[in-house]
């Protein structure tokens, strides 16, 4: 009997997800006794009635590595431990269907699951592994905020988009003598903002790790204007906040969506700069989901393919409860427990942080 592997993609989409799926299938095709399936919308495909599980063969994955998104869909709502059930009064309650799901997968002859996702998905993977499911994790996030891996696929594509954003905004800022604030993604970690600031050459970069002092930001922009180069670019991560202040966001009304939906710090910053006395003309651009979509750059496709091949080999070797990781230019595996322990925050010793400071980019402190 063939060994069935189930692949699921969870959390926000990310350029490179399809490249991982294709690599798993291609690697499995080299072995006569494995078959790959995909669960639609993370684990929901298993739990839905009727189930939504599709066969992933060579034909299903042909050419998908250059496509953004994920051919098996994804979600950052609900999940086997928090399955939303509508109550008679119209409210929703999350119930734990994890045991039922594990039993279903066993009954259907699934040998292992490869779960491609961010910190939330990998926490679910760890809990499922503790309950006896054969799980291998593959890290995914454009934010690059998982500490167990030096880099996640999708991050460099997002940086490329953000850098192109700076490049385009510079020409308008320069022509109009303006300050343009560009808001990028980065919930807890400011890697996208920092990389785009260095690559694009911004004057200010505000990140979640360093609460900013608005007067320091004004000072840096005014200095730039005094140098008679009357324009400036400020890159701000969505999770940035002022000293003693809070992030800008709102609780989501979507059922099962637990994260606060961040967004709007760019506009708040513009107000704060005005209140702090900055006279320059200002505009705000929010890049939003442009950073998560579209064709993955070559680096991300290669990393994603490497993750997919390695994940299959971990299944073959029975290395369950582990996650694929990129460390020191190699692909290794780490225990899921380690993988979900810490965030990968921007720290002062990170080369990109030292570079930003070394080039006079104000980090708002």
Active site residues: 143
Bridge-based pairing state of the strands 3-9 and 110-117 = parallel
Query: Which residues neighbour 234 within 8 Å (Cβ) at sequence distance 6 or greater?
Result: 179, 180, 181, 182, 202, 203, 204, 205, 206, 217, 221, 269
* CA gap 243, 166 in Å, rounded: 25
The one among 70, 74, 115, 141 contacting ligand F6P by CB under 6 A: 141
The one among 187, 195, 220, 301 contacting ligand F6P by CB under 6 A: 187
| Phi-psi domain of 58 (left: phi exceeds 0; alpha: psi -120 through 50; beta: other) | alpha
- Residue 360 three-state SS: coil
The one among 61, 124, 142, 214 contacting ligand F6P by CB under 6 A: 142
Residue nearer to ligand F6P on the CB measure, 142 or 217: 142
Phi, psi (rounded to 5 degrees) for 89: -85, 5
C-beta of 109: minimal distance to ligand F6P in Å? 33
Q: Which residue is nearest to ligand F6P (CB)?
A: 185
| Using rule CB under 6 A, residue 280 touches ligand F6P | no
> Rule CB under 6 A: which of 282-301 touch ligand F6P?
292
Question: What is the separation, in whole angstroms, between the first and last Cα of the chain?
Answer: 62
Q: Which of 313, 320, 315 is nearest to 337 (CA)?
A: 320
Per-residue contact track with ligand F6P, 19 to 58, x per CB under 6 A?
----------------------------------------
Contact (CB, 8 A) for 362 and 203: yes
Residue nearer to ligand F6P on the CB measure, 42 or 53: 42
Per-residue contact track with ligand F6P, 81 to 120, x per CB under 6 A?
-------------------------------------x--
Contact (CB, 8 A) for 144 and 155: yes
Residues that bind ligand F6P (rule: CB under 6 A) add up to a total of: 13
> Rule CB under 6 A: which of 309-348 touch ligand F6P?
none
The one among 8, 9, 10, 12 contacting ligand F6P by CB under 6 A: 12
- Beta partners for residue 286, in sequence order: 183
Residues that bind ligand F6P (CB under 6 A): 12, 76, 118, 141-143, 185-187, 238, 261-262, 292
């Amino acid at each position: 009997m063939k060994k069935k592997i189930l692949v699921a993609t969870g959390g926000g989409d990310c350029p490179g997800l399809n490249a991982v799926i294709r690599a798993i299938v291609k690697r499995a095709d080299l072995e006569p006794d494995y078959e790959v399936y995909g669960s639609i919308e993370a684990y929901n495909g298993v739990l839905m009635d009727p189930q939504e599980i599709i066969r992933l063969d060579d034909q299903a994955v042909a050419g998908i590595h250059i496509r953004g998104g994920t051919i098996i869909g994804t979600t950052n709502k609900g999940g086997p431990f928090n399955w939303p059930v509508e109550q008679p009064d119209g409210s929703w309650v999350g119930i734990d269907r994890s045991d039922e799901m594990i039993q279903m997968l066993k009954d259907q002859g699934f040998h292992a699951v490869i779960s491609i996702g961010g910190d939330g998905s990998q926490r679910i993977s760890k809990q499922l592994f503790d309950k006896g499911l054969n799980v291998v994790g593959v890290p995914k996030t454009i934010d690059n905020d998982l500490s167990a891996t030096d880099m996640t696929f999708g991050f460099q594509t997002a940086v490329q988009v953000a850098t192109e954003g700076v490049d385009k905004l510079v020409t308008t800022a320069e022509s109009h003598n303006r300050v343009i604030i560009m808001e990028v993604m980065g919930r807890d970690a400011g890697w996208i903002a920092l990389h785009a600031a260095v690559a694009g050459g911004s004057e200010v970069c505000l990140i979640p790790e360093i609460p900013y002092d608005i007067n320091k930001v004004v000072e840096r922009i005014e200095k730039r204007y005094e140098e008679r180069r009357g324009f400036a670019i400020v890159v701000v991560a969505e999770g940035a906040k002022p000293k003693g202040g809070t992030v800008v966001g709102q609780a989501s009304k979507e059922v099962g969506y637990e994260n606060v939906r961040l967004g709007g710090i760019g506009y708040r910053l513009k107000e704060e700069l005005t209140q702090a006395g900055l006279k320059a003309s200002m505009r705000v651009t929010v890049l939003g989901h442009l950073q998560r979509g579209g064709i993955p750059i070559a680096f991300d496709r290669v990393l994603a393919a490497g993750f997919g091949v390695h994940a299959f080999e971990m299944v073959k070797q029975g290395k369950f409860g582990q996650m694929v990781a990129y460390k020191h230019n190699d692909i290794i595996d780490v225990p899921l427990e380690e993988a979900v322990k810490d965030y990968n925050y921007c720290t002062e010793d990170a080369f990109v942080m030292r570079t930003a400071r070394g080039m006079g980019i104000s980090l708002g402190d």
